[in-house]
Amino acid sequence: MTGELSPIDKAKFVAAKRAAEMVEDGMRVGLGTGSTAAWLVRCLGEMVSRDGLKITAVPTSSRTAALARDVGINVVSLDEAKWLDMTIDGADEFDADLNLIKGGGGAHLQEKIVATASDQMVVIADASKSVERLGAFPLPVEVLPFGWQSSQALIEETLVSMDVMGRTTTLRMNGDAPFVTDEGNYILDLHLKRIGNARQLALVLNQIPGVIENGLFIDICDTVVIGYGDGRVEVRDINEGTVEKDRLDFAETDNLFTDLTD
């Protein structure tokens, strides 16, 4: 029940609940991947079953697709939907310009494709994801398995000329084997500590042979919904230059999310 949630989970819940209120009947909506996005899917599922909300959803990963179907949301592919009204997703970090680092869940390739095929992107996050400068969270870079070590070497060589504090790169693992994305690729995590010029780094990384996509989302996010553990919610709109503040009440008997895990 929400009354038993930790402050960080309460923050994720209220951010997701507030963002779900932005979804209108008939919309085509991109659904993100990760623990915060999972709260959103459950909120939308409740609106579908309780209020008769009719939406068409494009998930950004196989696990989001499975959850969406479980809660009764109509799921289609991006090719079927063609274009989306809105994508709602989480983030590992966001700065004052709403530039993001994403990919902690390993789905940033699909997430970026879906987000850029939308009229607007809304990010939901707890307040801890707000940073002055991107880079504390390791930057995910999806690479082809073929020659991944060569790609890693080229990335490390490229980082020497970039405005970053750290240059360590590691292959993401799943137990004793490399983590494999939905597209069958590997992920290299770049431990940069601080990124001085995120736009330049995003462009340069994607020029390296073997690199599929990086986790920097530059000029893609339009709105961020920030949740706090006490129920406060802040909505920042980068296009309108507005900041709205609200507070959502918790229903102590609400058990929509008792089986969600990070």
- Over residues 181-191, the pLDDT tens digits come to 999 999 999 99
CB environment 224-255: b (16+ within 10 A), e (fewer): bbbbbbebebbbbeeeeeeeeeeebebeeeee
State the pLDDT at residue 260. 44
Structure tokens, 120: 């607007």
Residue set of the binding site:
33-36, 89-92, 102-105, 129
DSSP string of 26-54, one letter each residue: T-EEEE--SHHHHHHHHHHHHHHHHH---
pLDDT at 244: 97
Q: Dihedral sign, CA of 170, 171, 176, 182?
A: positive
pLDDT mean over 223-245: 97
pTM of the model: 0.93
Residue 251's pLDDT is 64
- CB 26: neighbour CB atoms within 10 A? 10
Mean per-residue pLDDT over the chain, rounded: 94
The answer on pLDDT for 1 being more than 50 is no
Active site residue 46: no
Handedness of CA 35, 37, 43, 46 (dihedral sign): negative
Q: What was the pLDDT predicted at 256?
A: 56
Cα separation, 254 vs 164, in Å, equals 44
When pLDDT is cut at 50, 70 and 90, the band that residue 261 belongs to is very low
The CB density around residue 118, as the number of other CB atoms within 10 Å, is 23
Q: Name the nearest CA neighbour of 156 among 148, 167, 147, 145.
A: 167
Binding residues for substrate: 33-36, 89-92, 102-105, 129
With beta carbons less than 8 A apart as the criterion, state whether 126 and 226 touch: yes
**Tens of pLDDT, residues 190-209:** 999 999 999 999 999 999 99
Structural domains of the chain ordered from first start: 2-130+219-247 (3.40.50.1360), 139-214 (3.30.70.260)
CA angle 64, 66, 70 (to 5 degrees): 115
**pLDDT computed for residue 254 by the predictor:** 54
Confidence of residue 250 (pLDDT cuts 50, 70, 90): low
* Backbone dihedral angles phi then psi of residue 124, each to the nearest 5 degrees: -115, 130
Question: Per the structure block, which two tokens stand in for 76?
Answer: 């289609």
Share of the chain above pLDDT 70, in %: 94
Residue 257 has pLDDT above 90, yes or no: no
Separation in Å, CA 160 to CA 57, 111, 188, 192? 41, 28, 17, 11
Angle between helix 7-20 and helix 35-51 axes, rounded to 10 deg: 50
Q: Report whether pLDDT(11) > 60.
A: yes
pLDDT in tens, 40-70: 999 999 999 999 999 999 999 999 999 999 9
Q: Give me 73's structure tokens.
A: 């949301």
- For residue 255, the model assigns a pLDDT of 52
Determine how β-strand 56-59 pairs with β-strand 28-31: parallel
For 122-169, how does the pLDDT look when each residue is reduced to its tens digit (9 = 90+)? 999 999 999 999 999 999 999 999 999 999 999 999 999 999 999 999
pLDDT recorded at residue 262: 40
4 confidence band (pLDDT: 50, 70, 90): confident
Could you tell me how many helices (H) and strands (E) the chain has, helices first? 7, 17
Residue 137 near residue 103, CB atoms below 8 Å: no
Q: What is the per-residue pLDDT for 213?
A: 98
Q: pLDDT tens across 100-125, in order?
A: 999 999 999 999 999 999 999 999 99
Q: Which of 93, 111, 142, 213 is catalytic?
A: 111
